[in-house]
Structure 1
Amino acid sequence: MVPTPIGNLLDITYRSINILKNVDYIVSENIKHTLILLKYFSIKNKLLSLNICNEKKKKNKYIDMLNNGKNIAIVSKAGTPVINDPGYLLVKYAYSNNIRVVPLPGACAAITALSASGLKTNQFCYEGFLPKKKKSCEKKIYSLCRELRTIILYESPKRLINTITLIKQIMGSKRKITVAKEITKKWEKIKKGTTKEILSTIKNDTNWTKGEITILISGKKKNKNNIVSSKILNTFNILKKETKKSTAIKITAKIFGFNKNILYNNVINKKSNEVD
């Protein structure tokens, strides 16, 4: 598994170059694009195709080649293979056939953008591309509303304004986000601010409607207030009618980002006071 640069060709590692020079075959998501990289580093090797259209058909052929002692390097169009790119099935079947899979470290747009996002990096989740249909996209963003970790998304530049608009509408105008465009390339731009500020920026700059985009959204802040609000209690009371009390407490705490132990103690104390 050989990561390739996401923009700047000099970001490739010495180890990656050495592997690409010495394997028997290079399996590529986009042969034309990979040839640019190979030519730049004077690498001559036989290229084979592996993309979303032919992966199911070609995986068995490549597994047979590996079983016959051939060494194969997998590369995507850019970045780390298999991350939102084809190759998963080949890796899966390699394990099923007791074939060793060797991952190399290297470029990944999600992690590169995260490191420069100015948002919390100790906990994060990667969600890839949002659904294309508006209702499905809205549903997905709603499901991420209570996520406490930093959220990483990929997005098409043509949909960027609509997506940020939805994030603003659903998560609020003050939610902190970072938008990274064309990471490692000479047109690289990274902008951090509230959803309201970012939306204003990209609407007034047509350069944001071009290139590869990574969106990072700050996680929801934990409720540091130890007081259990009536809204939290009402939600708990509704849920406990449908499920066990302990489960209702867990779900309610997760919905509001509230400490489940504090909620539990509050419920127990309230019950004791009612008995008294």
Structure 2
Amino acid sequence: MKTLTSEQIERAWEFMLLNARVIDRHRFALHFRGGAPAPVLAALRPYENPDGGYGNALEPDLRGAASQPVPAQHALEILHEAGADDDPAVTRIADHLTTITTPEGGVPFVLPAVRDAPRAPWWQTADDPPAAINPTASLAGLLHRAGADHPWLKTATDFCWSRLDRPDLEFGAYDVLATLTFLDHVPDRDRAEAVFTRHRDALAAVGSDHHTAIDFASSPDGLGARLHPRDAIDAELDALIDAQDDDGGWDIDFPVWTPITRHEWRGVQTVERLLLLRSQGRLDG
């Protein structure tokens, strides 16, 4: 079983200093260099909009200022990393989600304001987009993890249960990630286990050109770790350690549509890969 050495982590830090966004450098410092959470929170603030949502390229492939659901998901993840589940920004996010929730009870994948600024070509939407399990399930799961008590959370949770109760539900890779986030953190554990058992084969069968078993197993205790055999996950973790580039970072394996996004995503990817390796006990020390 391979592990990442302290020297390799230092190489990753040098990569971050040379290439990554400020917010991702602070995240790296928080997790791997004994840094404080305050700089992470300070770096997150400029991405927040007056409506309580997030935009401004927090999601690197959305270059516009307008608030979108997926950047709100990123913000909740970063707030949690910084130990700030009780930050007022969490309530502001839920307030904002209430304003973009459809009559179905969930939020769309992306809102029509995406058309007002440059964005990756896969960020497309209709004039009146429907609610979607991705990212509603991720947002609901992260708010449950944060211990939020907000009316939107019940609405969104009911939407997620309703969708997951459908026998003909089809999953893409990001739907799997969203579903796992919801099922990992929703308080009704018996129902979560039952839904996971019912959909397990369908979730495990989902293919992707840039997701593998370890992407669904970010925590050894999460439901995603039960989708694939342990030896397959271990083999992918070994390969992930070998995939560290000579410059110290990890590369991305999805299209780069404008040059800056590769640098920004590689900073995100490097932090995320190190967090994954740490959660799986693959860092020395």
Higher strand share: 1
Q: TM-score band (shorter)?
A: under 0.3
Higher helix share: 2
Larger Rg, first or second structure (1 or 2): 1
TM-score (norm 1): 0.24
* Structure with greater contact order relative to length (CA < 8 Å, sep ≥ 6): 2
